[in-house]
Structure 1
Amino acid sequence: MRLLMLGGTEFVGRAVVEAALDRGWEVTVFHRGRHAPPAGVTSLIGDRTTGPEGLAALATGSWDVVVDTWSAAPSAVRDAARLLADRVGRFAYVSSRSVYAWPAAAGLAEDGPLVEGSPDDGEVPYAEAKRGGELAATAAFGADRTLSVRAGLIIGPYENVGRLPWWLGRIAQGGPVLAPGPATLPIQYIDARDLAEWTLDAVAAGLSGPYNLVSPPGHATMGELLDACVRATGSDAELRWAEPEALLAAGAAPWSELPVWLPPGEMFDAMYTADVSRAVGAGLRCRPAAETVADTWTWLESLGGTAPQRPDRPQVGLSPEREAEVVAALGG
């Protein structure tokens, strides 16, 4: 198989590229040159944010599949898809479960109501951008040649958003660690490498249409994730669990100050109760949480403990001062 990866030097794109190389696929990476692509690929330099002229390096060539993770202006997806439609077999767009109209009901499958979006949009909010990207890909390639991978929370090696890296860094410091409970709270996420493997399997099998792509309900809990962080780092951290009601009363912000964690309620239902039966039926396999955590820690250690941070995403996690404030408010 010949793969064209739009991006491919960071996080999800890099995971896709490495998975394809492991399969012996021929891989071309189109990127801006800000980061070195993996060894073994053909590298094409361009900048799709500058409009069609930034795609000049893609003016020739043909591939079996193109994978795109773009999450900004949908018009960039549109321009690339139009340019490639006659020279590429299939288009896989890594979208998001954020495309579902808010609030997304518990147990929502792929036929749920969607946000408005347009393939011609410029800079728009994330949900509308991802929906516009889906529409752009489908308009150029047709529904039968377009795969929309609606991912939820993505973690694993190369993460440049900071959620799992923050927990690993905090727990590596040791001592008492504020842990948002209950420990039995189920979470849904996808390791970027499992997303990559499933996506490549799907395009090779000729699948099309939308698929929710996160782990099945019950795959992991908040407690299992943080316990795995303690084991991976080998620290003397002591997880001190606090109940959701107490944390909210103490002013702790779910998701941002306490990454990954959401209290039971509307946001939890939207993020952590997705129906993924379609993807499971199409071969989705998710590695254990302990493996994802351990491999992410190994990667972090190789970088000296500091993960890269996407400039378009805010920093996450409690500062030491904020953690002390929340613990004090909890009476600890």
Structure 2
Amino acid sequence: MRLLVLGGTEFVGRAVTEEALARGWQVTVFNRGRHGVPDGVEALRGDRAAAGEGGLAALERGTWDVVVDTWSGAPSAVRDAARLLAGRAGSYAYVSSRSVYSWPQAAGLTEDGPLVDASPDAGEVEYAQDKRGGELAAVAAFGERALLVRAGLILGPYENIGRLPWWLGRIARGGLVAAPGPRDLPLQYVDARDLAGWTLDAAARGLGGPYDMVSPSGHTTMGELLETCVRVTGSDAELRWIAPDAVLAAGIEPWTELPVWLPPGESHDALHRSDVSKAASAGLRCRPVTETVADTWEWLRLGGQPRLRPGRAAVGLAPEKEALLLGG
């Protein structure tokens, strides 16, 4: 199989590239060349954010069986690339987001849920509209050959936001750790490598349309996630479970200051209680949380660090705020 990855050197794109190479596929990546590429990969250079199609000149020739696009900016960039490739590629897998659903998102939401308004011709707007506009652009160019991979929370080695890396780093330092409860709070996420494997399988099979890409709700819990962090780091950390009301009363922001965690309620239902039976029926298999945590820790231990995108703030709880939450 001949694969073109638009991106291909950071988190999800890197996982897709490495999975394809492991399968013996011929891999081409198109990006600005800011990061190195694995051995055996053909690199095409260009800036798809450049005005007009000038930045896509390197894509004007070549044919591919599958295109995987991880773009998160202006939908018009997806539009231009997809139009250019429509006659020379078999399928177009666009890595989108479950953020494309209108808020609020009820527990049990499926791919038929209501969507935000967006345009494939827009410049960069809000994240949800960017991703939905990208979906519309992919479908406009590829029709039923467009595979829309609506990812939820993505974890694993090379994570470029730093949610799981923050928890691992904090727990590795040891001592008393503020653990937001309840301990049995169900979580949904997908390991980037599982997302990559499923996407390549689905595209090779000719699947199209939207698929929510995240583990079943309760694949792990907040307790299992943090206790696994303690175990794999070998830390002497002691988790002190704190009730959600107490966390919120302390003025601590869920999701950003306490990564991954959302208190029970509307936001948690939207992020951690969706129905992913469609992807599961199409072959999605999620590795155990122990493997995701251990491999992420190994990456960090060997010097890996999240590469935050410009304008994105680091996640995590300041030590002084944690001390107040712990009553110290």
- SS of residue in 2 equivalent to 1:171: helix
Matches within 5 A, 1:75-94: 75-94=76-95
Report the Cα distance in structure 1 between the residues aligned to 2:204 and 2:311, rounded to whole angstroms: 32
**Does the aligned pair in 1 maintain the 2:97–2:150 contact within 8 Å?**
yes
For structure 1, the residue ranges without an aligned partner over 5 or more in a row are none
Residue in structure 2 matched with residue 121 of structure 1 by the alignment = 122
Q: Which amino acid aligns with 2:66?
A: V
Alpha-carbon offset, residue 2 of structure 1:
0.3
Which aligned segments of 4 or more residues in structure 1 are displaced greater than 4 angstroms?
A: none
Matches within 5 A, 1:57-68: 57-68=58-69
Q: Which amino acid aligns with 1:197?
A: G
Residue in structure 2 matched with residue 110 of structure 1 by the alignment = 111
Residue in structure 2 matched with residue 140 of structure 1 by the alignment = 141
Report the Cα distance in structure 2 between the residues aligned to 1:158 and 1:83, rounded to whole angstroms: 30
Report the Cα distance in structure 2 between the residues aligned to 1:150 and 1:19, rounded to whole angstroms: 19
Residue in structure 2 matched with residue 172 of structure 1 by the alignment = 172
Matches within 5 A, 1:249-288: 249-288=249-288
Residue in structure 2 matched with residue 184 of structure 1 by the alignment = 184
Q: Which amino acid aligns with 1:210?
A: P
Matched, 1:243 2:269: no
Residue in structure 1 matched with residue 219 of structure 2 by the alignment = 219
Report the Cα distance in structure 2 between the residues aligned to 1:65 and 1:80, rounded to whole angstroms: 13
Alpha-carbon offset, residue 306 of structure 1:
3.5
Please, what TM-score do these two structures have when normalized by structure 1? 0.97
Report the Cα distance in structure 2 between the residues aligned to 1:291 and 1:118, rounded to whole angstroms: 39
Of the structure 1 ranges 112-121 and 311-320, higher mean CA displacement relative to structure 2 is found in 311-320
Matched, 1:95 2:110: no
- Count of residue pairs brought into register by the alignment: 327
Alpha-carbon offset, residue 152 of structure 1:
0.2
Q: 1:166 to 1:210 in 2, by over 3 A?
A: same
Matched, 1:319 2:308: no
Report the Cα distance in structure 1 between the residues aligned to 2:28 and 2:198, rounded to whole angstroms: 19
Report the Cα distance in structure 1 between the residues aligned to 2:312 and 2:195, rounded to whole angstroms: 21
Identity of paired residues, percent? 72
Q: Which amino acid aligns with 1:141?
A: F
**Does the aligned pair in 2 maintain the 1:251–1:326 contact within 8 Å?**
no
Deviations 1:53-106 (A, max 9, x none): 111111100000100010110000000001100100100000000000001111
Q: Which amino acid aligns with 1:209?
A: G
Report the Cα distance in structure 2 between the residues aligned to 1:310 and 1:239, rounded to whole angstroms: 31
- SS of residue in 1 equivalent to 2:279: helix
Matched, 1:300 2:300: yes
Q: Which amino acid aligns with 1:254?
A: P
Q: Which amino acid aligns with 2:97?
A: S
Report the Cα distance in structure 1 between the residues aligned to 2:159 and 2:320, rounded to whole angstroms: 25
Residue in structure 2 matched with residue 207 of structure 1 by the alignment = 207
Of the structure 1 ranges 308-317 and 102-111, higher mean CA displacement relative to structure 2 is found in 308-317
- SS of residue in 2 equivalent to 1:239: strand
**Does the aligned pair in 2 maintain the 1:212–1:278 contact within 8 Å?**
yes
Alpha-carbon offset, residue 301 of structure 1:
1.1
For structure 2, the residue ranges without an aligned partner over 5 or more in a row are none
Report the Cα distance in structure 1 between the residues aligned to 2:84 and 2:98, rounded to whole angstroms: 27
